[in-house]
């Protein structure tokens, strides 16, 4: 009979105890790194208005830029162009939609140049940054008010809109206060989108403000509860009103067209 023999083959390389200990320490050190290594700080994105102000300062000549500071210590730019006609007819203040540049190709860039040929100085305002944190202070109040639970959740809260409205009107007021106008000159305000909607709310409550005409382009308020009252608000605007809207506008605009026409007819 053949007897089975087990043979132990020694490895070609047998690491020493010191090498094994060193590898263990390296693994332990690597495993502990996340607990004490410095975590990179979160870098906040540059605010949109700051980027826009930098672009304007880079691309436009100094004589086309004016700088103002509101009572709330917000500094902002206004793009200025003087009238180019034989006779000056007045001044136009342009306020684009929120997060829209006065140099954008949505029409305001063209208007601020073309209106100078018709005898108007133009002032195109850089609108304020949207403060999405404006409603945080009211969260506790909303939670305490149980009646709010039955109301639909709005995409954009009234607190955010009110904050934008307040800061936009502060910018408009600062430009308005610094205008040099003759008694025979006309002051026209052209606003777009949300800027037009919130300005309409102000103009409806300030009939004595010296504005000869208000042109609202695709006016709306991005809050369904607030937007449904906009047609009535537009009918109360003190200055002569030209309400412009398009079939391609957002539903917040197109769905209120019938009510706007009804309120307009009731004022005739």
With a cut of 60, say whether residue 3 has pLDDT above it: no
**Contact yes or no for 89/118 (Cβ under 8 A):** yes
| 3-state SS track over the chain | CCCCCCCCCCCCCCCCHHHHHHHHHHHHHHHHHHHHCCCCCCCCCCCHHHHHHHHHHHHCCHHHEEEEECCCCCEEEEEEECCCCCCCCEEEEEECCCCCCCCCCCCHHHHHHHHHHCCEEEEEECCCCCCCCCCHHHHHHHHHCHHHHHCCCCCCCHHHHHHHHHHHHHHHHHHHHCCCCCCCCEEEEEEEHHHHHHHHHHHHHCCCCCCCEEEEECCCCCCHHHHCCHHHHHHCCCCEEEEECCCCCCHHHHCCHHHHHHHHHHCC
- Per-residue pLDDT of 118-159, as tens digits, reads 999 999 999 999 888 877 755 555 555 545 555 555 678 999
- Per-residue pLDDT of 10-33, as tens digits, reads 555 555 556 566 666 666 665 555
Distances (CA, A) of 50 to 53, 141, 150, 167, 185: 5, 32, 39, 16, 34
Spatial neighbors of 59 by CB under 8 A, at least 6 apart, are 103
In this prediction, residue 222 carries a pLDDT of: 93
In this prediction, residue 53 carries a pLDDT of: 83
The residue-averaged pLDDT of 62-91 equals: 94
With a cut of 60, say whether residue 52 has pLDDT above it: yes
Predicted confidence band at 6 (pLDDT cuts at 50, 70, 90)? Answer: very low
HSE-CB for 56 with a 13 A CA cutoff:
25
Query: Rounded to whole angstroms, how far apart are CA atoms 36 and 83?
Result: 64
> Mean pLDDT for the chain?
82
With a cut of 70, say whether residue 173 has pLDDT above it: yes
CATH of segment(s) 48-266: 3.40.50.1820
The reported pTM is 0.78
With a cut of 50, say whether residue 36 has pLDDT above it: no
Which residues on adjacent β-strands are paired with residue 120? Answer: 90
Domain chopping of the chain, boundaries: 48-266
- Per-residue pLDDT of 80-121, as tens digits, reads 999 999 999 999 999 999 888 888 876 788 999 999 999 999
- Per-residue pLDDT of 208-256, as tens digits, reads 788 999 999 999 999 998 999 999 999 999 899 999 989 899 999 999 9
In this prediction, residue 48 carries a pLDDT of: 74
Tell me which of 32-36, 44-48, 128-132, 165-169 is least confident.
32-36
In this prediction, residue 257 carries a pLDDT of: 87
Query: Rounded to whole angstroms, how far apart are CA atoms 189 and 93?
Result: 5
In this prediction, residue 8 carries a pLDDT of: 47
In this prediction, residue 154 carries a pLDDT of: 66
The residue-averaged pLDDT of 154-169 equals: 90
């Amino acid at each position: 009979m053949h007897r089975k023999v087990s043979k132990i083959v020694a490895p070609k390389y047998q690491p020493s105890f010191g090498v094994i200990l060193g590898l263990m320490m390296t693994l332990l050190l690597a495993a502990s790194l996340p607990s004490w290594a410095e975590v990179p700080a979160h870098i906040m994105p540059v605010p949109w208005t700051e980027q826009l102000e930098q672009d304007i300062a880079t691309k436009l000549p100094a004589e086309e830029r004016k700088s103002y500071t509101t009572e709330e210590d917000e500094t902002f730019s206004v793009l200025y162009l003087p009238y180019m006609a034989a006779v000056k007819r007045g001044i136009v203040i342009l306020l684009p939609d929120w997060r829209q540049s006065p140099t954008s190709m949505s029409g305001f860039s063209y208007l601020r140049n073309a209106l100078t040929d018709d005898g108007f100085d133009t002032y195109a305002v850089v609108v304020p940054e949207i403060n999405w944190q404006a409603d945080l202070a009211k969260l506790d109040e909303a939670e305490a008010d149980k009646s709010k639970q039955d109301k639909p959740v709005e995409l954009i809260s009234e607190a955010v809109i009110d904050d934008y409205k307040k800061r936009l009107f502060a910018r408009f007021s600062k430009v308005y206060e610094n205008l040099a106008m003759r008694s025979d000159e006309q002051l026209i305000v052209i606003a777009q989108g949300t800027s037009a909607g919130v300005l309409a709310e102000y103009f409806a409550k300030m009939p004595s403000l010296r504005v000869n005409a208000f042109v609202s382009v695709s006016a709306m308020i991005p809050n369904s509860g607030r937007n449904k009252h906009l047609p009535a608000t537009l009918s109360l605007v003190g200055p002569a009103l030209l309400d412009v809207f398009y079939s391609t506008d957002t539903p917040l605009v197109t769905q209120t067209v019938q009510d706007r026409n009804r309120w307009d007819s009731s004022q005739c």
